[in-house]
């Protein structure tokens, strides 16, 4: 059994394939043979020595967007059995701290995650608690099943955005998350979904998965194009999926009266933008954030099992465990959308 261990942001290379051994399973543990694991923006942050969702202490097997086949189960496991196909929810909570008890477990004071601060999906096998295993239909590809975790985060974000039937929606950024947001906005009943994205390949796929129009924010006047598309100034909901100050500024300029601005992406810890206070006042803007996937993983798996989302088109590159550094760099490239590792 092998795993690709992240050995530190100050190392070169930063990943090292090592043998792994597992002791006897705990009564509620599950041994999963990992078949696919996506690379997330959080993995990229960790790769550069930046903060993840929880403390990272190398050496550790990263990878928190993963799916596979149940190989063995502990004696008290009842939710899954050997042979089941599962998508893993990596995020685990203490259920005892004040945020957990107040229904805000995404703010858990003791949050820890598979593939962040304990070994995860960039390995041939993983040991996971039964509670983190969600069954996926056997005819769903493992690459698609591995998209359950980012989709669960998107579902939480969509809940925060509060899209109503007939709303006009602008999604800023055509990466994996942005293209999932485009599809989810349509499912929620948006009348017009617009994607702001400068890369031609992502624009094309955006249209293929459900955008009504695309805007090139570098070469086109975004407010002018929105008025042309929607027939009025601004949109009802703006979903920012880039994580850079310029994208947040674009979100505010694109927001119409009474709009909701969802700042979804993970920015640098010190990132900041000037807040247009008069716009917030005059337009009665609602600004919301979204963090991880509290109680939305099953809903994401339900959506994947339903076949209502186009996920295969978002997966542009695959790698093996021996080429993790290259895989991370490809995920950072404009040539990719979602990079998946096949352990």
CATH of the domain at 194: 3.40.50.720
What's the pLDDT at 267? 87
The parent domain of residue 246 ranges over 158-289
Same domain? For 7 and 115 the reply is: yes
Same domain? For 109 and 163 the reply is: no
Distance from C-alpha of 247 to C-alpha of 258, rounded to nearest angstrom? 20
Look-up: residue for tokens 């990272």?
56
Divide the 343 residues of the chain into consecutive groups of 10 and give the mean pLDDT of each group. Answer: 96 96 96 98 91 81 98 98 98 97 96 94 98 98 98 98 98 98 98 98 98 98 96 97 96 97 91 95 97 97 98 98 97 97 97
Same domain? For 135 and 164 the reply is: no
The answer as to whether 302 is a domain residue is: no
Q: Into how many domains does the chain fold?
A: 2
What's the pLDDT at 52? 60
What's the pLDDT at 55? 79
Contact 54, 82 (CB under 8 A): no
Neighbours of 28 (CB within 10 A): 15
C-alpha angle 208-134-297 in degrees, rounded to nearest 5: 60
The answer as to whether 164 is a domain residue is: yes
The answer as to whether 298 is a domain residue is: no
Same domain? For 139 and 162 the reply is: no
Model pTM score:
0.96
What's the pLDDT at 160? 98
CATH of the domain at 91: 3.90.180.10
The answer as to whether 273 is a domain residue is: yes
Same domain? For 282 and 186 the reply is: yes
Same domain? For 120 and 13 the reply is: yes
What's the pLDDT at 50? 81
Beta sheet of 2-6, edge-to-edge order = 15-19, 2-6, 60-61
């Amino acid at each position: 059994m092998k795993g690709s261990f992240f050995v530190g942001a100050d190392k070169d290379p930063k990943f090292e394939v090592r043998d792994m051994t597992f002791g006897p399973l705990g009564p509620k543990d599950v041994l999963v043979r990992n078949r696919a694991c996506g690379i997330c923006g959080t993995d990229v942050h960790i790769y550069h020595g930046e903060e993840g969702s929880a403390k990272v202490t190398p050496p550790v097997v990263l990878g928190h967007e993963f799916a596979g086949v149940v190989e063995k189960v502990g004696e008290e496991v009842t939710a899954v059995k050997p042979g089941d196909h599962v998508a893993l929810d990596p995020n685990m909570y203490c259920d005892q701290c004040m945020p957990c008890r107040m229904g805000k477990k995404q703010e858990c004071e003791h949050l820890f995650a598979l593939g962040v601060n304990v070994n995860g999906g960039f390995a041939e096998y993983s040991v996971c608690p039964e509670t983190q295993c969600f069954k996926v239909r056997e005819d769903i590809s493992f690459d698609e099943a591995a998209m359950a975790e980012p989709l669960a985060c998107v579902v939480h974000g969509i809940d925060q955005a509060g899209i109503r039937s007939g709303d006009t929606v602008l999604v800023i950024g055509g990466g994996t998350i942005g293209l999932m947001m485009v599809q989810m906005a349509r499912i929620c009943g948006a009348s017009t979904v617009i994607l702001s994205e400068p890369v031609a390949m992502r624009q094309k796929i955006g249209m293929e998965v459900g955008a009504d129009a695309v805007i090139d924010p570098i070469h086109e006047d975004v407010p002018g194009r929105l008025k042309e598309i929607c027939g009025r100034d601004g949109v009802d909901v703006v979903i920012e999926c880039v994580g850079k100050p310029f994208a947040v500024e674009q979100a505010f300029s694109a927001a119409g009266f009474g709009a909701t601005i969802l700042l979804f992406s993970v920015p640098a810890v010190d990132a900041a933008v000037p807040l247009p206070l008069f716009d917030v006042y005059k337009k009665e803007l609602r600004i919301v954030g979204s963090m991880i996937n509290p109680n939305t993983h099953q809903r994401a798996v339900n959506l994947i099992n339903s076949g209502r989302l186009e996920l295969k088109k978002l997966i542009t590159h695959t790698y093996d465990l021996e080429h993790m550094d290259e895989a991370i760099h490809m995920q950072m490239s404009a040539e990719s959308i979602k990079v998946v590792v096949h352990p």
